[in-house]
Amino acid sequence: MEAITGLTLNGTTWTPEFATALDPKKCIGCGRCYKVCPRDVLDLIDRGEDMEMEDEDYDEDDTASVMTLKNAGDCIGCGACGRVCPKGCYTYAALPVQA
Ligand code: SF4
Ligand code: SF4
């Protein structure tokens, strides 16, 4: 698969990897990713029953919120969210070049 690429300031090629999924069962609602995202992609919402955490070490009151990809189409593939996430919630994918 040939992926779309960009250029850094000095002309080096890099491949953006876009956030395609966020696992609500791992997310602790800490908000770290929200703070570093340069786009309007993420939103913290109330955790529904269908998004219960898989880690039972956390108090339900501390994890009453969960991050979501509210506006995934605005992602620029910088990867900042995944670098600060302490729970490894994110999945990324490069974007194939359209024929
Ligand atoms: S990859 Fe970058 S732009 Fe996309 S959701 Fe994460 S921090 Fe935001
Ligand atoms: S950094 Fe990870 S654990 Fe924290 S709110 Fe974002 S996705 Fe959830």
- Ordered structural domains, the chain, with CATH: 6-93 (3.30.70.20)
The predicted pLDDT at position 5 comes to 97
DSSP code at position 51: G
Q: How confident is the model at residue 52 (pLDDT cuts 50, 70, 90)?
A: confident
Is residue 79 lining ligand 1, measured as CB closer than 6 Å?
yes
Is the minimum distance from the CB of 89 to ligand 1 under 6 angstroms? no
Summarize the confidence of residues 20-46 as an average pLDDT.
Answer: 97
Residue among 43, 53, 44, 41 at smallest CA distance from 79: 41
Rounded to whole angstroms, the Cα distance separating 38 from 43 reads 13
Q: Assign 13 a pLDDT band (cuts: 50, 70, 90).
A: very high
- Residue for token digits 């729970």? 87
**Between 27 and 53, residue with greater pLDDT:** 27
What does the mean pLDDT of the chain come to? 93
- Give yes or no for residue 57 having a pLDDT over 90: no
**Interatomic CA distance for residues 47 and 64, integer angstroms:** 5
